[in-house]
Chain A
Amino acid sequence: MPDDPMDQAQAAIRLWTGVECPNAAGRRALDDFPALIAEFAALRGGLAFEDEPSAFEAVLREEKEPEA
């Protein structure tokens, strides 16, 4: 396994999806990941055990503008 985290990411992509890095822009797209990882780390603790994607449409209906 490569030592560089971005090389590791490329190896993981190849292993899991069979997609190769297409160009320098692909490599550049991975450069954002340390910042994204830090952003996700800052959000830890926000997810409740019962949260699930299907709640979204229910909240759309719940949060409608009250009837005048």
Chain B
Amino acid sequence: MSDLALLSVTEAAGAFAKGEASAEAMVRACLARIEAHDGRINAVVRLDREEALAAAAALDRARAGNAKLGPLAGVPMMHKDMYYRAGKVSGCGSAIRRDFRPKATATVLERLDAAGAIDMGTLNMAEFAQNPTGHNRHHGDCHNPWNLPYCTGGSSSGSGAGVAARFFAAALGSDTGGSIRLPASICGVTGIKGTQTRVSRAGAMPLSFSMDNVGPLTRTARDAARIMRVIAGKDPRDPTSAAEPVPDYEAALTGDLRGLSVAVPREWFFDGAEEAVVKAFEAALEVLKARGATVTRVSAPSLHAVGTYVSVVSRVEGATIHAEWMRERAGDYATHLSGRLYGGYAIPATWYVEALSRRGPLLRQFCREAFAGHHVVATPTLRMRVPTLAETDIDASPDNWARHMAVSANTRPFNYLGLPTVSIPCGFDDRGLPIGLQIAARPFAEARALMVADAFQRDTDWHACVPAL
């Protein structure tokens, strides 16, 4: 391949393991692409050029010495600027933490390091991961590589834009209301949020401790499966992490959808959906059917309660952990963020406890409604076509609030329900912006969602499209 930056995670790891490409050459290819194009996209916050090249050279020496290689050996990655690495600034997209240097490294970064991934630096994100569009007053907005005036989705804006632009093979994002799946959908890449508690959050900036998730943005479902196998699983440093065994997700990618039943809820996900989105979604269902799946429209009335409760949980928890800074230095937040946090203080504690107390019963109800006889739930990732940065800029006008929050309407319910959910590209709209297909599975069935996503990608090439930079 002429440009090594175009390799996916599994391709890069394979090329390195076979001696077809050096780690240093792959890192240099990514660095060259970043240096050529990031001036317009603004995905990168900090480029650790020399450290990445040194890590790559060490891996090349290890391979030459026949050392055992990890499953991500030689793969260039960068991560949302909210995963702590001891001694390195983790600014969390903010002015408030612009000089914050954590003392310990996040478990997910330690696991990626141990698997041989090369960390090239940190990525732009919504301030404190608190918006679904990726706007950032402090670092400047990140731009969609498919069409620069359009938003990237957030909060993992640099992760989505950078993977789409082929600046690196994969990136970590975080997802509390859609912050992995939205930039994945909007930038035309693959993203997965696991089951709540599936991936350790030790050393990751908190937003809403009940609904925060760590996960990757990648080119393909197979890449996501490779990374999830590395980062998922119990972590003594995160007492909330699940002890459920972690399967070999890649082994589940059989491409065989015979006997698979896909449920499509009638409620919620299509309220006000734009025609281009529905058309791409229905075409995606036909692809799944052609591989042997059946599709059934189901009723899931629990979604209305889910939609109400989810916003209460994230707003209250976010407002609570930001209270000291909101009292002392509210002016250091972007206007839209301090405004959003402020609203959280008006929510009664009884509502918050009600929302958390109903979470288990509503999950049970949703599973009975949507998964009775069905393996996965499919929906569009967004109801709307990708909006521009200007259309969703609350700092410019509070009147943009409704459009801004509508971006995450279809992703938020799965954070409240805690279900594993993947977004994959399934088309483009009339303005050349990507459209996403969202696939959710039962708790801890990440393998099922990834298997469906991988099968879809065997018959389509939306995920292989590269924006002209």
The interface of chain A, by Cβ under 8 A from chain B, is: 9, 12-13, 16-30, 32-33, 36, 39-40, 43, 46-48, 51-53, 55-65
Prevailing SS type, chain B contact patch: helix
- Pick the contact of A65: B340, B351, B375 (CB < 8 A): B375
Nearest CB on B from A24, distance (A): 6
- Pick the contact of B358: A23, A24, A46, A57 (CB < 8 A): A46
Pair B351/A51 contact, Cβ less than 8 Å? no
Pair A60/B418 contact, Cβ less than 8 Å? yes
- Pick the contact of A26: B342, B353, B357 (CB < 8 A): B342
- A–B pairs, 6, beta carbons within 8 Å: A17-B323, A24-B398, A26-B338, A33-B343, A55-B357, A65-B442
Is residue B170 within 8 Å, beta carbon to beta carbon, of the partner chain? no
Q: Which residues of A contact B359 (CB under 8 A)?
A: 53, 55-56
Question: Number of residue pairs across A and B with beta carbons under 8 Å?
Answer: 134
Interface centre among A12, A22, A32 (most CB of B within 10 A): A22
- Pick the contact of A22: B331, B358, B367, B445 (CB < 8 A): B331
Q: For the complex, give the distance between the alpha carbons of A43 and B149 in Å.
A: 40
Pair B342/A22 contact, Cβ less than 8 Å? yes
Per-position binary interface string of chain B over residues 384-401, scored 1 when its CB falls under 8 Å from any chain A CB and 0 otherwise: 000000000011001001
Q: For the complex, give the distance between the alpha carbons of A31 and B255 in Å.
A: 48
Q: For the complex, give the distance between the alpha carbons of A13 and B316 in Å.
A: 13
Nearest CB on B from A38, distance (A): 10
- Pick the contact of B343: A30, A40, A43 (CB < 8 A): A30
Is residue B360 within 8 Å, beta carbon to beta carbon, of the partner chain? yes
Nearest CB on B from A5, distance (A): 10
Pair B443/A61 contact, Cβ less than 8 Å? yes
Question: Which chain B residue shows the least CB distance to A35?
Answer: B308
Question: Which chain A residue shows the least CB distance to B340?
Answer: A29
Q: Which residues of B contact A21 (CB under 8 A)?
A: 342
4 cross-chain pairs, A with B, having the tightest CB-CB distances, nearest first: A25-B339, A29-B343, A55-B360, A26-B342
Per-position binary interface string of chain B over residues 323-358, scored 1 when its CB falls under 8 Å from any chain A CB and 0 otherwise: 100110011010110111011011000010110111
Q: Which residues of A contact B333 (CB under 8 A)?
A: 22
Is residue B441 within 8 Å, beta carbon to beta carbon, of the partner chain? yes
Q: Which residues of B contact A58 (CB under 8 A)?
A: 360
Nearest CB on A from B422, distance (A): 15
Is residue B32 within 8 Å, beta carbon to beta carbon, of the partner chain? no
Pair B363/A13 contact, Cβ less than 8 Å? no
Interface centre among A9, A18, A56 (most CB of B within 10 A): A56
Pair A39/B357 contact, Cβ less than 8 Å? no
Is residue B444 within 8 Å, beta carbon to beta carbon, of the partner chain? yes
Q: For the complex, give the distance between the alpha carbons of A9 and B338 in Å.
A: 16
A19-B342, A20-B330 are known contacts. Are A47 and B363 too (CB-CB below 8 A)? no
Q: For the complex, give the distance between the alpha carbons of A43 and B306 in Å.
A: 10
A52-B357, A59-B364, A63-B442 are known contacts. Are A36 and B418 too (CB-CB below 8 A)? no
Q: Which residues of A contact B367 (CB under 8 A)?
A: 63
Nearest CB on B from A4, distance (A): 13
Nearest CB on A from B133, distance (A): 14
Is residue B251 within 8 Å, beta carbon to beta carbon, of the partner chain? no
- Pick the contact of A25: B336, B345, B353, B448 (CB < 8 A): B336
Question: Which chain A residue shows the least CB distance to B399?
Answer: A28
Question: Which chain A residue shows the least CB distance to B315?
Answer: A29
Q: For the complex, give the distance between the alpha carbons of A56 and B367 in Å.
A: 13
With A19-B342, A51-B360 already in contact, 6 other A-B pairs whose C-beta atoms are closer than 8 Å: A25-B398, A28-B339, A40-B351, A46-B358, A48-B361, A60-B196
